[in-house]
């Protein structure tokens, strides 16, 4: 009886605003029993009720070792992407930077720890640069996108940009050769 009742309450989740307009932290209700756990990672009705009326068209997943830093990435319009992100296994410190030039928080960043224990999700709308650093080996990072990836539209800002002053809490991250070519924030001209 208890196990059957497990699924009667599964569509409950909390969606909270952050100090940066549009960024949302989603806390799902996770139900554990002797078999493991269950939770609903996306529910269109709940998202729409919270004003998140986006349509997702692509899912992506990466696996990284501890100390890998990916970012700060974005897609330029008209291929800009909103993202719903989560960690399936492991842990990351996730970072976003507001690139919307008319925003009162332009150039400010927000950090959030996502892991397979807290099961938090993060909705990042269009107009943000996004990156993360992995805090555990074999971290599996997953995200839904509101637009298809377009190689000609990709952009990036240096992870260690002095203007942004992001404390990644890591000294020598593992960075791709491509990300080493990202531009500084002072040289960035926002298309958002």
Q: Which of 109, 110, 130, 143 is catalytic?
A: 143
Residue 39 is a catalytic residue: no
Considering only residues 39 and 80, tell me which one the structure prediction assigns the higher pLDDT.
Answer: 80
Within 13 Å and on the Cβ side, how many CA atoms surround 74? 29
d(CA 127, CA 96): 10
pLDDT at 10: 41
Say how far apart CA 50 and CA 56 lie, in whole Å.
Answer: 16
Distances in whole angstroms, Cα of residue 149 to Cα of each of 13, 79, 179, 183: 28, 7, 17, 20
Q: Which two tokens mark 6?
A: 């497990």
Cα–Cα distance between 24 and 7 in angstroms, integer?
25
pLDDT at 7: 41
Mean pLDDT of the chain: 93
Q: Where do the domains of the chain lie?
A: 56-187
Give the max Cα distance, the chain.
Answer: 61
User: Closest Cα partner for 88 from 115, 123, 69, 70?
Assistant: 115
Are the C-beta atoms of 155 and 190 separated by less than 8 Å?
A: no
Catalytic residue among 73, 110, 123, 130: 73
* 74-97 tens-digit pLDDT: 999 999 999 999 999 999 999 999
Active site residue 37: no
CB-CB contact of 131 with 69 (8 Å): yes
Domain range 56-187, CATH class: mainly beta
Lowest mean pLDDT among 5-14, 18-27, 147-156: 5-14
* Alpha-carbon distance values, 123 to 105, 167, 185 (Å): 17, 21, 23
């Amino acid at each position: 009886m208890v196990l059957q009742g497990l699924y009667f309450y599964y569509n409950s989740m909390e969606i909270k605003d952050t100090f940066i307009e549009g960024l949302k932290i989603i806390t799902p209700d996770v139900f554990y029993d002797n078999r493991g756990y269950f939770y609903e990672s996306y529910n269109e009705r709940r998202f729409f009720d919270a004003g998140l009326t986006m349509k997702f068209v692509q899912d992506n997943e990466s696996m990284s070792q501890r100390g890998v830093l990916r970012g700060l990435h974005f897609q330029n319009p008209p291929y800009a992407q909103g993202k719903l992100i989560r960690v399936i296994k492991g842990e990351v410190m996730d970072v976003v930077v507001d690139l919307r030039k008319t925003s009162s928080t332009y150039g400010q960043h927000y950090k959030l720890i996502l892991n397979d224990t807290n099961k938090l999700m993060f909705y990042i709308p269009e107009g943000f640069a996004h990156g993360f650093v992995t805090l555990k080996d074999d971290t599996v990072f997953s995200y839904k996108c509101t637009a298809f990836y377009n190689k000609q539209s990709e952009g990036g800002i240096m992870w260690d940009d002095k203007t942004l002053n992001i404390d990644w809490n890591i000294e020598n991250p593992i960075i791709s050769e491509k990300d080493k070519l990202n531009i500084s924030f002072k040289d960035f001209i926002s298309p958002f």
